[in-house]
Structure 1
Amino acid sequence: MTDRVLILGGRGRIGSSVAQDLANHTQAQITITGRSAEFGKAVSLSSGGQVQFLVLDLVEVDKLQNAIANSNLVIHCAGPFHYRDTNVLETCIAQGVNYVDVSDHRSYTSKALNFSEQAAAAGVTAIINTGIFPGISNSMVRQGVEQFDKPENIHLSYLVSGSGGAGITVMRTTFLGLQYPFETWIDGKWQVIKPYSERELVEFPPPYGRSGVYWFDMPETFTLPKAFPSVKTVITKFGSVPDFYNHLTWIAAHIFPKWLMQRRYMIEFLSHVSHSMTDVTNNFSGIGVAVRSEVTGQKDGKTAVYCSTVVHENTALASGCGTGSIAQLLLEGKLKKPGVFAVEEALPTDLFEEVMQSRGIKINHSWL
């Protein structure tokens, strides 16, 4: 029987990258959804029929339920997840259909994790926060943590060039992440941090080199302490290339009135302006991504530091690889863990290494 995969929000840059990865690595029949019928014919023709298009809005509950019932796996790419409820996940659990998403905000992650018992009872494997960051980044951390007798500190740094090859939704996600202070796990207790604060210069692999990163609200800040209880500090920082985008983002986070940044029309305005700017700067900055994971801990009675890095020339394609690889493992039956889990709790390191190698993504490691 042919596997049937439903990709919600599959018309977007991330969703279409996930579809392309699955088309490259599986024989699944893929259906991507969007709210406009204009996109459909071109998709079917360009994919030779392996990828089909379905006009679907998430508010069309009956149509959504039917589409999920006719699928073996649902991949939720319809962000921003700041605004999303868990209706898709709940429907998957009710229908007994496995679930993957590219969610990247703690509010959604918290809500999704609340359904772990129901998913386990239904035999449904639901893996959230897949993609590049969070996603591949989380597995890099797990890979590092496993090198230690007692891991103690995690420092994750992300760098994106220009638009990252993504669409307007990713811009919205960035500005939505500036709205409120957030809790982080530092020195064994929860502390409140201001978004886009405490600039730090971090050494990334070529072509990036030493670049500025800032505190940014990511779901890893609370899923990693849960996955690795001995860890006392988790730092997640994000930066942009060219560097002047960092300064503009800092202004939006610290100078603009908070009430203004919490208005949806302001988020839309900033997102569209930023996307127009990156259309120009992409020509010389590129659209790549770099991730640096640094784990500090005890090994053989001594304190040591294990560093992992990865670079990809296209952020959106890298996200597609992260999500697509997990979807592939679920379809092949190699990954089965009923419940709702973040990537670092669901994906064993050996399988992570296998799917990264099959996609030509090289993770570099070093002891510092």
Structure 2
Amino acid sequence: MTDRVLILGGRGRIGSSVAQDLATHTQAQITITGRSPETAKAINLPLGERVGFLVLDLAEIDKLRQAIANSDLVIHCAGPFHYRDTNVLKTCIEQGVNYLDVSDHRSYTSKALNCHEQAIAAGVTAIINTGIFPGISNSMVRQGVEQLDKPEKIHLSYLVSGSGGAGVTVMRTTFLGLQHTFEAWLDGKWHVVKPYSEREVIEFPSPYGRSGVYWFDMPETFTLPHAFPSVKTVITKFGSVPDFYNHMTWITAHVFPKWLMQKRSTIEFLSHVSHFMTDMTNNFTGIGVAVRSEVTGQKNGETAIFCSDLVHQNTAIASGYGTGSIAQLLLEGKLQKPGVFPVEEALPTDLFEYTMQSRGIKIHHNWL
């Protein structure tokens, strides 16, 4: 029988990329959802007859339950996940349907992980944070951890050119991430960190070179210490190209009044203005992404650093690869792990490397 995949929020740039990856690498029947019939007309994907459209608002509980019941796999791409509850995940567990998402915020990740025991009891594999960062980046860390006898420190750096090929939702995610301080695992203790602080210049692969990155609140800050208990420090930093955007984001995080930044209307205004600006500068900067993972630890009784670098010319497409590759493994029965897991706890390195190679993603490694 043909596998049936439901992509919630499939009209967005990330969801569309996931759908494209699934259509390329599987024979699944794909249903993309949107909140209005006009959304279907706006979909411009050369996916053929295997892709259908369903008008669905996540608030329509009965319709959502029916759509999930008619699916073999649900992929949740309807962000921002700062605002989301776990109703979709819980419904999948109740219906016995496997689940993936592209979530990227600690509040949602924490709520999803609380459903772990229910997913085990239902035999449901639910894997969260599966895009590019978090997602592919987490698996790059796992690669590094497995090269060391005792991993002790993880340093993840992300860089995005312009809009990254994503839509307004990703802009919302960025500005929402500036609202609050967050906890980071440093030297074996939890420390409060200010978002977009402590600029650090990282040497990324060509064409980026030396670029600035800043503290940014990501789920990896607490899922990686849980996955790898010997690690005493996890650093997650993010930056933009051109560097001009970094300075504007820093001002937004540190100069704008907190009460203003916590108004939804402010987030909407900043998101649309930023998206307009990046649409202009994309012509000069491109829409690519770079990820650099450094894992420090003990190897043969000495301190060593294992570095991994990835560059892709389109951030949204790379995110689609991250989620689509795990969906492929689930549909093929190569990955089964009942429970709710971040990707670094669910995806073995050999399967990660297999799916990345099949998509032409090259990850370069070296020792420092």
Report the TM range for the smaller structure's normalisation. over 0.9
Q: Counterpart of 1:235 in 2: which secondary structure?
A: strand
Cross-structure match for 2:8: 8
Q: Counterpart of 1:131 in 2: which secondary structure?
A: coil
Q: Mapping of 1:1-368 within 5 angstroms?
A: 1-40=1-40, 43=43, 46-368=46-368
Write the letter of the residue equivalent to 2:182. Answer: F
CA–CA separation in structure 2 for the residues paired with 1:288 and 1:339? 33
TM (norm. structure 2) is: 0.99
Alpha-carbon distance, 1:62 to partner: 0.5
Deviations 1:192-217 (A, max 9, x none): 00000000000000000000000000
CA–CA separation in structure 2 for the residues paired with 1:11 and 1:299? 46
CA–CA separation in structure 1 for the residues paired with 2:200 and 2:40? 45
CA–CA separation in structure 1 for the residues paired with 2:260 and 2:202? 31
The 8 Å contact of residues 34 and 56 in structure 1, kept in 2 or not, is answered as yes
Deviations 1:151-210 (A, max 9, x none): 000000000000000000000000000000000000000000000000000000000000
Flag structure 2 segments of 5+ consecutive residues without an equivalent: none
CA–CA separation in structure 2 for the residues paired with 1:17 and 1:7? 11
Write the letter of the residue equivalent to 1:248. Answer: M
The 1:45/1:297 distance shift into structure 2, 3 A limit, reads: closer
CA–CA separation in structure 1 for the residues paired with 2:159 and 2:199? 13
CA–CA separation in structure 2 for the residues paired with 1:233 and 1:90? 32
CA–CA separation in structure 2 for the residues paired with 1:259 and 1:194? 16
Alpha-carbon distance, 1:36 to partner: 1.8
Alpha-carbon distance, 1:238 to partner: 0.0
Deviations 1:311-361 (A, max 9, x none): 000000000000000000000000000000000000000000000000000
Write the letter of the residue equivalent to 1:217. Answer: D
The 8 Å contact of residues 154 and 235 in structure 1, kept in 2 or not, is answered as yes
Q: Which deviates more, 45-54 or 56-65?
A: 45-54
CA–CA separation in structure 2 for the residues paired with 1:45 and 1:129? 24
The 8 Å contact of residues 43 and 52 in structure 1, kept in 2 or not, is answered as no
CA–CA separation in structure 2 for the residues paired with 1:340 and 1:240? 31
Alpha-carbon distance, 1:48 to partner: 1.8
The CA RMSD measured in Å over matched residues stands at 0.9
Alpha-carbon distance, 1:42 to partner: 6.6
Q: Counterpart of 1:133 in 2: which secondary structure?
A: coil
Flag structure 1 segments of 5+ consecutive residues without an equivalent: none
CA–CA separation in structure 2 for the residues paired with 1:42 and 1:247? 34
The 8 Å contact of residues 44 and 53 in structure 1, kept in 2 or not, is answered as no
CA–CA separation in structure 2 for the residues paired with 1:103 and 1:250? 24
Alpha-carbon distance, 1:39 to partner: 3.4
